[in-house]
């Protein structure tokens, strides 16, 4: 643009100083035109030479531009993803102690019960009849024993009669106790407070001893069990943070590791990690969750975006820092000692300090000692 302006001005000046060209002399006009064109061409060459000299003197012309960012200081952590399922310290399948026809099922799946609540009843008609007979016999035996005992104290009657009455009364009492125990066996009660997970029988069916009929799960003592690769066994500890994602409940819950197993499964090469669950939520046994297990956390660290950590051919870590120098600056290579890297950032142990200006955009196109311009946001 400058060359065109100067050439135009030079041409205008020459025309102004020249005598008026004879309109009838075509050869003279062409000669004047050629002279002016030659002069303009020389001026263009001179302007180009001046532009080169200016560029050599001004180091800020045609410099690469970069953006910068400082290291971050604050809490830093690392986590990895694992998967687990809900388990209970108390989860039992209940079965009848006495066979018989199921007369009543007093609960349904999902129902909460208290310890001692009646869950299921088996037909007890024959036992009730036997109980009534034993009670009647026992009443008669007790009356006879009292009479014989009174006579024996007065010296009336034989010792044999007294002992027979006593033995008969004791035998019938033991028989009554046995029938009462059998009667209790016809009723299935909750051994602890919890939730009826499943009812596996229907009224009218015949139940056999040892046949599971109801599954009961305690709501206390629920935990999430995870199986973690053995490479993490030295990094996970009791009380480490665990963030659990229960998709089925649409909830994210923070917890703490409650147990770290010391046994490595020889088949899967994993060990068990457990996280206790709160009682206030509707967890179900075998419910799945994805978990962020935190194996590293510090309250204060210096860290930078992982994309700014570069490596040379020997595998040494480094980055580039911008050092201002007037209107431009220099690219300075800094060797780094790095710590833990999480999804987006890397902990810096040495090589940088707060306030350093790391080259961000343009970091992969610069080299040590190069002069660049810093692009500042407006």
Quote the pLDDT of residue 53: 57
Query: Which helix (H) or strand (E) segment is 304 a member of?
Result: strand 288-305
> Considering the domain boundaries, does residue 146 fall inside one?
yes
The Cα 33–Cα 141 span in angstroms is 154
The Cα 162–Cα 155 span in angstroms is 11
80 DSSP β-pair partners: 293
Quote the pLDDT of residue 141: 80
The Cα 40–Cα 6 span in angstroms is 9
353 DSSP β-pair partners: none
The top-scoring range by mean pLDDT among 3-12, 143-152, 294-303 is 294-303
Report the CATH number that the domain containing residue 249 is assigned in CATH. 2.40.30.170
> Considering the domain boundaries, does residue 249 fall inside one?
yes
Reference 275, options 238, 246, 248, 250; nearest CA is: 238
3-state secondary structure of 79: strand
Residue numbers of the domain that contains 362: 64-76+300-374
- Residue 58, token pair as written in the block: 């001004």
Backbone angles phi, psi at 377, to 5 degrees: -80, 145
> Considering the domain boundaries, does residue 94 fall inside one?
no
Quote the pLDDT of residue 1: 47
3-state secondary structure of 374: strand
> Considering the domain boundaries, does residue 95 fall inside one?
no
Residues 40, 120: one domain? no
Residues 264, 321: one domain? no
Residues 175, 250: one domain? no
Task: Give the strands of the sheet with 91-94, arranged side by side.
Answer: 91-94, 214-217, 194-199, 112-113
pLDDT tens digits along 65-111: 999 999 999 999 999 999 999 988 788 899 998 889 999 999 998 89
> Considering the domain boundaries, does residue 144 fall inside one?
yes
User: Is the predicted pLDDT of residue 49 greater than 90, yes or no?
Assistant: no
End-to-end CA distance of the chain: 28
- Residue 307, token pair as written in the block: 């994309």
pLDDT tens digits along 318-353: 999 999 988 889 999 999 999 999 999 999 999 999
3-state secondary structure of 295: strand
pTM of the full predicted structure?
0.59
Residues 182, 237: one domain? no
Final residue in a domain of this structure, among 159, 185, 215? 215
Count of domains observed in the chain: 4
Final residue in a domain of this structure, among 264, 298, 332? 298
Q: Please answer whether residues 68 and 375 qualify as being in contact, where contact means their C-beta atoms are separated by less than 8 angstroms.
A: no
3-state secondary structure of 208: coil
Q: Please answer whether residues 341 and 300 qualify as being in contact, where contact means their C-beta atoms are separated by less than 8 angstroms.
A: no
DSSP string, 74-111: EEEEEEEEEEEEEEES-EEEE--SS-EEEEEE---TT-
Final residue in a domain of this structure, among 215, 239, 256? 215
pLDDT tens digits along 140-199: 888 877 877 877 777 777 777 778 888 888 888 888 888 888 888 888 999 988 889 899
Residues 327, 285: one domain? no
Residues 221, 276: one domain? yes
> Considering the domain boundaries, does residue 245 fall inside one?
yes
Reference 171, options 133, 137, 127; nearest CA is: 137
DSSP 8-class letter at 56: H
Quote the pLDDT of residue 140: 86
Residues 201, 127: one domain? yes
Quote the pLDDT of residue 356: 96
């Amino acid at each position: 643009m400058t060359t065109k302006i100067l050439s135009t001005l030079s041409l205008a000046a020459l025309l102004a100083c020249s005598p008026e060209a004879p309109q009838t002399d075509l050869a003279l006009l062409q000669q004047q035109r050629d002279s002016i064109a030659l002069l303009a061409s020389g001026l263009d060459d001179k302007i180009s030479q001046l532009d080169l000299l200016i560029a050599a003197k001004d180091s800020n012309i045609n410099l690469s531009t970069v953006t910068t960012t400082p290291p971050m200081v604050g809490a830093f952590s690392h986590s990895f993803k694992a998967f687990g399922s809900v388990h209970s310290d108390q989860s039992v399948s209940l079965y009848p102690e006495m066979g018989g026809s199921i007369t009543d099922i007093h609960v349904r799946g999902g129902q909460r019960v208290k310890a001692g609540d009646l869950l299921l009843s088996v037909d007890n008609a024959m036992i009730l009849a036997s109980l009534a007979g034993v009670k009647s016999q026992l009443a008669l035996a007790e009356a006879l024993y009292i009479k014989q005992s009174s006579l024996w104290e007065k010296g009336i009657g034989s010792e044999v009669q007294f002992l027979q009455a006593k033995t008969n009364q004791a035998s019938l009492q033991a028989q009554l106790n046995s029938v009462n125990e059998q009667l209790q066996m016809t009723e299935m009660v909750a051994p602890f407070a919890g939730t009826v997970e499943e009812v596996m029988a229907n009224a009218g069916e015949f139940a056999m001893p040892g046949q599971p009929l109801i599954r009961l799960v305690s709501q206390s003592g629920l935990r999430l069990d995870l199986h973690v690769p053995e490479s993490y066994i030295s990094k996970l500890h009791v009380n480490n943070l665990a963030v659990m994602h229960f998709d089925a409940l649409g909830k994210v819950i923070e917890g703490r590791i409650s147990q770290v197993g010391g046994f490595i499964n020889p088949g899967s090469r994993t060990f068990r990690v457990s996280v206790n669950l709160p009682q206030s939520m509707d967890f179900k046994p075998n419910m799945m969750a994805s978990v962020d297990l935190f194996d590293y956390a510090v309250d204060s660290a210096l860290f930078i975006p992982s994309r700014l950590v570069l490596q040379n051919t020997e595998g040494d870590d480094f980055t580039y820092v911008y050092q201002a120098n007037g209107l431009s600056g220099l690219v300075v290579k800094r060797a780094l000692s790095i710590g833990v890297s999480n999804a987006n950032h890397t902990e810096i142990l040495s090589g940088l300090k707060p306030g350093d200006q790391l080259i961000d955009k343009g970091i992969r196109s610069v080299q040590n000692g190069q002069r660049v311009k810093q692009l500042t946001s407006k």
